[in-house]
Structure 1
Amino acid sequence: MASDPIEDLERASAAVLDLIAAVRPDQWAAPTPCTDWSVRDLVDHLVGSNLMFLAIFGETPMPEHGTDILGADPVAAYAASATALEAAFARPGILDEVYQGPLGDATGADRLQFRLTDLLAHGWDLSRALGIAARLPEDLAETALVFSRRQLPDGSRPGRFAEAQPVPENATAVERLVAFLGRPVSPPWSVPEGVRNGR
């Protein structure tokens, strides 16, 4: 039986929220597997992406580049943006409509899948940066991997994606997804010595 896409988004968003809520005060400046992004930068991207999708759907203005969208409470900022986006995607007919965005036209259903893929990949990034296990939905990662392979066929790698990386035979679905999107998972990325507490 097919899953409910809105429930899928809610599950992925909740898993990422759990990770953000686990960030200690001394970890916001810590590095992540995303080159040049700290933990706070990564969470800023997640909130900014939610706001960008809301703007594409006509719910809010497009967020201005360079503005502080996290404020003093990044957890609350993420939770509010995720809840608003889930409500927007649940609007009748939105999954069938075609919307213009920075990367071209796509249906609401495809935009939801883009969002799920981004959440899962960056959820893994965040879990590695924090050094904690990520409880990211494996079934959603399997679907996201199929979607990503369709969006990025062999030889098609836009600048924001590195080449696909090898994975061990016992890799999880999340690991296979992030490896396809260019993250090395074997050996696993870890916070460099000397900056484990965000220093």
Structure 2
Amino acid sequence: MDELLSLHRVNAERFSRLVHRVGPPDADAWQRPTPCTGWTVRDLVNHLTSEQLWAPELLAGRTVAEVGDRFDGDVLGADPVAAWDAAVAASLAAFAEPGALGRTVDLSRGPTAAHDYLDEMLTDLAVHGWDLARGLGVEDDIDPATVDRLLVEWSGRTDELAPGSAFAGPLDVADDADQQTRLLALFGRRA
């Protein structure tokens, strides 16, 4: 579990560094496209910020129904960087609480082990971190330990990654493709 928390923190910090590179709220970079079809940089950061806002609520035992639509729509407001910083800090703190990963959280699909929920959060931070880096035109390497973990985690679960899931369906890759290229292909991305 310590490894999972550590990788989550590494990827949250990477995503944070990228968010800080976007610039002030009126910077043109917020409107750049990303590899996520139809999503700008702002849309992508908004999605991840919303996810971070959910974590403390769910880990505190609240249900999806109790949280309701509080985190729907634009959660970035006038200062997207500050909104991200506050949301990710609260999420990291909630997952790091003693016993948090032994809990069960109420997701839209039903009760889920908190450590499985954290794996999903890690996946989103890593893959969408790559998307954000691509949208910004900066270094897009994913932490190698994260790549290794996620390849093990998701390689046998490609049915969950079919078109219509949260990510695009898996793509074929060359036999000699590197690990990051393989991981990205699982999530419908070409490195």
TM-score bracket, shorter-length normalisation: 0.7 to 0.9
Deviation at 1:46, TM superposition (A): 0.6
Looking at structure 2, the residues matched to 175 and 105 of structure 1 have their Cα atoms a distance apart, in angstroms, of 32
Cα 1:111–1:158, aligned 2, differ >3 Å: closer, same or farther? Answer: farther
Partner letter of residue 100 of structure 1? D
Looking at structure 2, the residues matched to 91 and 76 of structure 1 have their Cα atoms a distance apart, in angstroms, of 23
- Aligned position for 1:14: 13
Partner letter of residue 22 of structure 2? V
- Aligned position for 2:38: 36
- Aligned position for 1:183: 189
Equivalent residues, number: 182
Cα 1:129–1:169, aligned 2, differ >3 Å: closer, same or farther? Answer: farther
User: Which structure's residues are more often helix, by fraction?
Assistant: 2
Looking at structure 2, the residues matched to 3 and 56 of structure 1 have their Cα atoms a distance apart, in angstroms, of 20
Task: Assess if the C-alpha contact under 8 Å between 2:103 and 2:113 holds in 1.
Answer: yes
Deviation at 1:59, TM superposition (A): 7.3
Looking at structure 2, the residues matched to 118 and 39 of structure 1 have their Cα atoms a distance apart, in angstroms, of 15
Task: Assess if the C-alpha contact under 8 Å between 1:138 and 1:172 holds in 2.
Answer: no
1:51 to 53, 67, 71: 53
Q: TM-score, structure 1 length as denominator?
A: 0.81
Q: TM-score, structure 2 length as denominator?
A: 0.84
Cα 1:71–1:96, aligned 2, differ >3 Å: closer, same or farther? Answer: same
Identity of aligned residues (%): 36
State the Cα RMSD in Å.
2.3
2:162 to 157, 175, 183: 157
- Aligned position for 1:89: 95
Looking at structure 1, the residues matched to 117 and 55 of structure 2 have their Cα atoms a distance apart, in angstroms, of 8
Partner letter of residue 157 of structure 1? A
Cα 1:156–1:138, aligned 2, differ >3 Å: closer, same or farther? Answer: closer
Cα 1:172–1:133, aligned 2, differ >3 Å: closer, same or farther? Answer: farther
Q: Which runs of 5+ in 2 are unaligned?
A: none
Deviation at 1:137, TM superposition (A): 1.1
- Aligned position for 1:167: 173
- Aligned position for 2:110: 104
Deviation at 1:135, TM superposition (A): 4.6
Cα 1:14–1:29, aligned 2, differ >3 Å: closer, same or farther? Answer: same
Cα 1:166–1:158, aligned 2, differ >3 Å: closer, same or farther? Answer: closer
Q: Which runs of 5+ in 1 are unaligned?
A: 186-199
Task: Assess if the C-alpha contact under 8 Å between 1:15 and 1:135 holds in 2.
Answer: no
The superposition leaves residues 27-48 of structure 1 with CA deviations (integer Å, 9 ceiling, x where unpaired) of 1111111111111000000100
